[in-house]
Amino acid sequence: VEGLPEEAKPVLKLQISSPVEEATLSEIFDPLAEDTSKMVAVFRAVETNQATMSIEASDADIPLGNAEEVYDLGPLTKFDGMDPKKEYVNELSVKIVPEDGEVAICTVQLRVTYVPSNKDKREELYEQLNKTSQRKAQAVNKLRQVALAASRDAPAGSAGQNKKPAVKPGFLNKPNKEPTKIEAWYNRTLGPDSLLRKLFPVAKNYVLFFGIVGVFHFKGQALALPPPV
């Protein structure tokens, strides 16, 4: 505390709005002290995005005044959701102004320590994700507008002349390969379109008929039945 005599006994009453809680500080903070109950005020489950803190000061039982402003806890509890720390410490300089005056009586230095909960970390990550999604949507929208403007400004003739097809003509209809000499001879003599393959279904019946007649004529005795005994 600066601005008060050495024999003064400053007392600070802190009040937050969400949830509504009060705490009193009646001793100057000493890091070597074993009992810090009168030096430290602890508030739990604070809605940091909407909570405010007001401060009232007194010298023992004599009121001195209030803080010149009501402090928003949001800026004092900001942190990076991608790389959160165990705790965040901020120094807050508070000017105490009497109710009927405008000149500060004294200045109080407060150390605000914020320990984010798992809920706070999750909400901060969601908020960063929403901001990133909004920036991405805006960038995509601007990109579409630029592309549309560029297509409108481009000359129609030059666009048509420089345009190349994505697929070359005849991509699926590959040209036939020239057959080799052996393949050509096979197709001409024994292939599906050869004269032999076309006449064979008709000629086989004649071949079978004349073959059987020849067997009967020249080897008919082999087919004769033996005389009865």
If asked whether residues 134 and 206 sit together in one domain, one would say: no
Residues pairing with 55 in the sheet: 14
pLDDT digits 0-9 by tens, 53-88 = 999 999 988 889 999 999 999 999 988 888 888 999
In this structure, the answer to whether residues 194 and 144 fall within a common structural domain is: no
Q: Is residue 166 in some structural domain?
A: no
pLDDT in the model for residue 199: 78
What pLDDT does 173 receive?
64
Judge if 108 and 125 occupy the same domain.
Answer: no
Predicted model pTM: 0.54
Whether residue 189 sits in one domain with residue 146: no
The residue out of 132, 151, 170 marking a domain boundary is 151
Q: Residue 51: inside a domain, yes or no?
A: yes
What is the rounded CA–CA span in Å between residue 29 and residue 31? 6
Short-list 50, 52, 78, CA closest to 67: 52
215 pLDDT higher than 70: yes
Same domain, 15 and 108: yes
Q: Which residue has better confidence, 43 or 167?
A: 43
Residue closest to 53 by CA, chosen among 29, 20, 98: 20
- Given this model, what pLDDT does residue 79 score? 87
Q: Which pLDDT does position 171 carry in this prediction? A: 58
Question: What does the pLDDT average to over 179-189?
Answer: 80
**Residue 156 falls inside a structural domain:** no
Containing structural domain, residue 121: 117-151
Query: 44: which 2 tokens?
Result: 């739990």
Kindly state the average pLDDT of the residues 8-20: 92
Residue 52 DSSP class: E
Do residue 68 and residue 138 come from a single domain?
Answer: no
In a domain, 176, yes or no: no
- Provide the H-helix boundaries in 101-219: 118-153, 156-162, 181-189, 195-219
98 and 64 in contact (C-beta within 8 Å)? yes
Q: Total domain count for the chain?
A: 3
Could you tell me if 82 and 14 lie in one domain?
Answer: yes
Q: Same domain for 188 and 141?
A: no
The tens digit of pLDDT for each residue in 109-163 reads 999 999 998 888 888 888 888 999 999 999 999 999 988 888 887 665 554 555 6
- The residue among 75, 12, 24, 21 whose CA lies nearest residue 45 is 21
Q: Is residue 42 over pLDDT 70?
A: yes
In a domain, 5, yes or no: no
Question: What integer best gives the mean pLDDT of the chain?
Answer: 84
Is 89 inside a domain boundary? yes
Q: Are 41 and 78 part of one and the same domain?
A: yes
Q: What tens digit of pLDDT does each residue of 92-109 get?
A: 999 999 988 888 999 999
Assess if residue 126 is contained within a domain: yes
* Dist. CA 145–CA 125, nearest whole Å: 30
